[in-house]
Amino acid sequence: MLERLLRWKIPLIIILVLVLVGTIHYTSIRRPDITRLEGILRDVLSPFQWSFSRIGGFFQHQVAEVNRWRGLKERNLELEERVSQLEAEVFALRNHRRENEWLREALDFRDEGEYELLVAEVIGRSPSQWESTIVVNKGQAHGVVSGMAVVTNAGIVGTVINSSNYTSTVLLIVDAQSATGGLVQATGDLVLVEGGQMGQTTLAAKPLSRDTKVEVGDVIVTSGLSRIYPKNLPIGEVVAVESRQYDLSFSAVVDPFVDFTRLEYVLIVMPQEES
Amino acid sequence: MKYVGYGLIIIVGLALQTASPGLVVFGRQPELLLLLTLLFAMLQGPGASVFGFVSGLFQDILVGRFIGLYAGTYLLMAILVGFLAKRLYKENALVRFFAIVLGTVLGQLLYLFGAASFGSSSPQSWVLISGVVGTGLLNGIVGVLLYRPFMALNERLIYLHELLKRTG
């Protein structure tokens, strides 16, 4: 029995292990293009993912609706207060915008707010908790390629890491593999915003210079240095500042503006055509 | 027949696992394909390693990185839990619970270790511990609840398979 086992099973296991180690090694580096087989599997699976996402979304909406009705009166009072605050803020911002437009014209700045955006529906997410990715229903057929930024109106979501014909995988900024250049809006100090935090729901902002100052409540926006994200897109708000060993440095806990558990639609930033 | 059934189980499991918003229980998401592999291993012994390998490979292809790591991990977990199930009294719900928790925890640690060996950055240790243990416990609870319906489904598939084989 053992001899028979040794005769064919052990060589088979050795070959299998070698093949697996080879494929793991080959695919350990991030690849902009996926193989044909991967593309086919993803495209075949996407209708199933879409169906289950719709069903899940329906139930999530129902639960959210019940919760919304519960706190409607309190919410109304809060909103009235907030509206009056925002009216005052809008007035100030209008003044700033007029001033900004005048300065742009004066300095001949290119308006960086004009991007071509492609709306995509979220149809899936990573199968494991150790990767924070989502799958959207736009792929190479729609002009989506690896490296494109993905945002919502609330802030940045992540970057496209690969795409099949009709789907794309987006690495979320909360993933451990993600690092984004950011700056503190109030001071303009540069920070590196990294994922991989507790529950994959917060980010860590690490200073790039010793003089960087970050306080709770500061807003972190994209620095525009990475060439992936356009400048000044909101990332999140600092909710805590943690000192590191011997107080030589710090790490700020950033609460992202985007709620990654409720993503339904995202915007893919398409490259601007050179004029 | 049963292979078509197993294939469908993998596809549905994968679609459920990757649907957004996914299955969230107590703020955590179960590792469905690993759980299915472990349930199969309990029912069929180490023979479930093929199911584990194929489901892991499908998951690998969807993730797109370290292709083969989930396949290898699920295969090993199927063999381990399959051997354990042969020696333990798996009719006891508590035994099943601990076997699934063990398989899930070891499987995730093995995957993370493998990914780290090939250059992936690991999450912070406390994130890792809470993630691994939390998912292990959740898989254990869901696994105990799913065991009986899954056993019935498996028996039905085997019965249909035999029936088709005999009747040609």
* pLDDT tens sequence across B70-107: 999 999 999 999 988 888 877 888 998 999 999 999 99
pLDDT tens string A219-272 = 999 988 877 888 888 899 998 887 765 556 778 889 998 888 778 888 999 876
At residue A120, φ and ψ (nearest 5 deg) are -135, 145
Q: A233: which residues sit within 8 A by CB, 6+ positions away?
A: A149, A151, A155, A156, A221, A222
Domain limits, chain A = 36-107, 116-270
Question: Tokens for B112?
Answer: 């993370």
Task: Give the three-state DSSP class for A235.
Answer: strand
Q: Does the interface predicted TM-score (ipTM) exceed 0.85?
A: no
The answer to whether B47 faces chain A, any CB pair under 8 Å, is no
Handedness of CA B6, B110, B118, A134 (dihedral sign): positive
Who wins on pLDDT, A73 or B158?
A: B158
**Is the CB of A169 inside 8 Å of chain B's CB atoms?**
yes
Q: How is residue A114 annotated by DSSP?
A: -
Interface probe, candidates B10, B11, B17, B20, chain A, greatest A C-beta count within 10 A: B20
Token match 């087989």: residue?
A: A37
Q: How many H-runs (helices) and E-runs (strands) does chain B carry?
A: 6, 0
Q: Do B67 and A23 touch (CB under 8 A)?
A: yes
Pick from B20, B62, B111: CB nearest A130: B111
Nearest residue to B69 via CA among A130, A171, A43: A130
Answer whether residue B121 shows pLDDT above 80: no
Contact residues, chain B, for A176 at CB < 8 Å: 120-123
Residue of B nearest to A24 (CA): B66
Identify from A35, A44, A128 which residue to disrupt to test chain B contact, counting B C-beta atoms within 10 A and taking the largest count. Answer: A128
Q: pLDDT digit of tens for each residue in chain A (275 aa)?
A: 556 655 677 788 788 888 888 888 888 877 777 788 888 878 887 887 777 777 777 777 777 778 778 788 788 888 888 998 898 888 888 878 877 776 776 665 445 556 788 888 888 888 777 788 898 989 999 999 888 999 988 889 999 988 888 889 999 998 888 888 888 888 888 889 988 666 667 888 888 877 788 888 889 999 888 778 888 888 999 988 877 655 567 788 899 988 887 788 889 998 766 54
Q: Is A184 exposed, middle or buried (0-12, 13-18, 19+ CB in 10 A)?
A: buried
DSSP string of B52-100?
A: HHHHHHHHHHHH-SSTTHHHHHHHHHHHHHHHHHHHS-TTSHHHHHHHH
Residue A194: what are its φ and ψ, rounded to 5°?
A: -120, 155
Q: Where are the beta strands (DSSP E) in chain A?
A: 116-125, 133-136, 149-151, 156-163, 168-172, 179-184, 190-194, 203-207, 219-222, 234-243, 250-256, 265-270
B8 shares contact with chain A (CB less than 8 Å):
no
> Cα A149 to the chain's mean position, in Å?
8
Contacts of A118 (CB under 8 A, 6+ apart): A138, A142, A143, A144, A267, A268, A270
Match domain A116-270 to its CATH number in 3.40.50.1370, 3.30.260.10, 3.30.470.10, 2.40.10.340. 2.40.10.340
Average pLDDT across chain B, whole number: 86
pLDDT at A229: 85
CB contact under 8 A, B15 and A52: yes
CA distance A224 to A250: 23
Q: Do B64 and A31 touch (CB under 8 A)?
A: yes
Cross-strand partners of A171: A133, A159
* Amino acid code (one letter) for B98: F
A96 three-state secondary structure: helix
Q: Is A185 exposed, middle or buried (0-12, 13-18, 19+ CB in 10 A)?
A: middle
Q: Do A27 and B64 touch (CB under 8 A)?
A: yes
What is the β-pairing status of strands A149-151 and A156-163?
antiparallel
**B21–A56: do the CB atoms touch at under 8 Å?**
yes
- Segment 14-43 of chain B within 8 Å of chain A by CB: 14-24, 27-29, 31, 33
Contacts with A, B 54-73, CB within 8 Å: 58-59, 61-72
The nearest CA of chain B is from the CA of A187 a distance in Å of 29
pLDDT at B101: 94
Distances in whole angstroms, Cα of residue B89 to Cα of each of B41, B48, B96? 14, 18, 8
Q: Distance from CA of residue A235 to its chain's centroid?
A: 9
Cα(A35)–Cα(B61) distance, integer angstroms: 9
Question: Distance, in angstroms, between A272 CA and closest chain B CA?
Answer: 28
Q: Is B125 on the interface with A (CB under 8 A)?
A: no
Q: Specify the 3-state DSSP secondary structure of A168.
A: strand
Cβ-Cβ contacts under 8 Å for A91 (sequence gap 6 or more)? none
What distance in Å separates residue B32's CA from the closest CA in chain A? 9
Q: Do A51 and B64 touch (CB under 8 A)?
A: no
Interchain contact, B15 vs A122, CB within 8 Å: no
Amino acid A109: pLDDT: 47
- Lookup result for tokens 């299955």: B23
Both tokens of residue A21?
Answer: 């180690």
Helix (H, G, I), strand (E, B), or coil: what is residue A148?
coil
Distance from CA of A216 to the nearest CA of B (A): 23
